[in-house]
Amino acid sequence: MAANRTESADATEPAGRSDLGRRMAQRRQALGLTREEVGERSGAAPSYIAYLEERAAQPGRGVMLRLADALSTSVGELAGTTVDLPPGTATAARDAELVPLDESECRRLLSTHGVGRVATFNAEGPAVLPVNYVVDGTAVAFRTSPEGELAAATGTEVAFEVDHIDDAMRKGWSVLAVGQAETVTDGAATRRLDDLARSYPWAGGDRRLWMTVAPRRITGRRIEHG
């Protein structure tokens, strides 16, 4: 299953890798860059980029600035000083514009997987809960606790939202999908979703119940500038 593959990947991670190395490697891979390309952009040898990604290195401020520029991010993001801050703390661009996205682009962004938020309404009022999710065909699927708030939302209309904010580039996007939440009871469907999952839920605990949301309405917006 995908969750097992994730654990195997973690097991082969370089023993001396630092948080900086993890963030560098993740950002580089998200941009689709090789170590050679990052080295060329930052004026460093590819072997030094590999060293920073795999060892507990402490590069100077000048190197960090060049790396952040090469990876289209900020020194704070690479150093991890922003991990406890919500996204969007950077100064907005003066010429920012909110651009609507068509359905095909919304679905493309939605299919990138990751963490999204489910908005529902319970006995205490509205609630928004983060979940790890996957896309199965046209439906969004996520795992939750059988006794949790989301399990109680079965058969009701919910909203699912996922977004991404790039503080360094001052850009971002969001996608909203609205549909009825359903519990997955078929064993074959559950096993298929287990195979699709890239990770166990970040929240941990007993979250073995799969739920799906088949959007009847899907919209999105992107922040652009320049």
Give pLDDT tens digits for 151-200.
Answer: 999 999 999 999 988 777 788 899 999 999 999 999 999 999 999 888 88
CB within 8 Å of 63: residues ≥ 6 apart:
42, 44
pLDDT digits (tens, 9 = 90+) for 74-117: 888 888 877 776 676 667 778 888 899 999 999 999 987 789 99
Q: Are 118 and 150 in contact (CB under 8 A)?
A: yes
Residue 110 has a CB neighbour count (10 Å cut-off) of 22
CA distances from 195 to 13, 131, 152, 162 (A): 22, 17, 25, 22
Mean residue pLDDT of the chain comes to 87
Burial 115-140 (b: 16+ CB within 10 A, else e): ebebbbeeeeeeeebebbbbebeebb
Residue 50 has pLDDT above 70, yes or no: yes
Does residue 3 or residue 53 have the better pLDDT? 53
What are the tokens at 105?
């682009």
Residues of the chain with CATH 2.30.110.10: 97-224
Q: Where are the alpha helices (DSSP H) in 12-99?
A: 19-31, 35-42, 46-54, 61-70, 75-79
pLDDT score recorded for residue 51: 92
The domain 97-224: what is its CATH number?
Answer: 2.30.110.10
pLDDT digits (tens, 9 = 90+) for 2-16: 444 333 334 455 666
The pTM (predicted TM-score) of the whole model is 0.70
CATH class in words for 15-79: mainly alpha
Q: What angle do CA 85, 90, 93 make, to 5 degrees?
A: 155
